[in-house]
Amino acid sequence: MAYRNPTPTVDVVIEMEGGVVLIKRRNPPHGWALPGGFVDEGEPVEVAAAREVMEETGLTVTLETLLYVYSDPARDPRKHTMSVVFVGTAEGTPQASDDAAEAEVFSLDALPSPLAFDHGQILADYQRWRESGERPDPKRAL
């Protein structure tokens, strides 16, 4: 029997001087996104997050906290995923590689368009958390 479970992913809101790091996706679905990707079998989500950031931006990230877990079945048009989203810091200049066509730092009040997946919601939640200390309410999805 084949199980049809959500696929685990990670995303990282990387805080840097001037804003947060976003990548322009080389592959569909196109758009700007937080650095992140699929968790490999046998890999802890924290390791996957640091690996994906390094692969896509060349940055060594320090994970500071967990923002939230996003699991809306419609968040990724390819399949049902659930993303563990971290907030982290890094130094240096992001350099696009792997499946990132570009990597840049953007101010939260000057985000590029379009944003891929549910990353607009994630960044709005991040901004609210930074301003008020409030994390997303799990009851909002019910």
Confidence of residue 56 (pLDDT cuts 50, 70, 90): very high
Q: Which one of the listed residues 56, 102, 104, 134 is annotated catalytic?
A: 102
pLDDT digits (tens, 9 = 90+) for 4-41: 899 999 999 999 999 999 999 999 999 999 999 999 99
The structure's pTM equals 0.95
**H runs (alpha helix) in the chain:** 45-57, 119-132
Element (H, E) at 68: strand 62-70
Helix, strand, or coil (residue 116):
coil
Q: Is 102 a catalytic residue?
A: yes
- Is 22 within 8 Å of 103 (Cβ atoms)? yes
Per the DSSP assignment, residues forming a β-bridge with 68 are: 85
User: Which residue type, as a one-letter code, is found at position 111?
Assistant: L
**CATH architecture for the domain at 10-141:** Alpha-Beta Complex (3.90)
- Is 12 within 8 Å of 85 (Cβ atoms)? yes
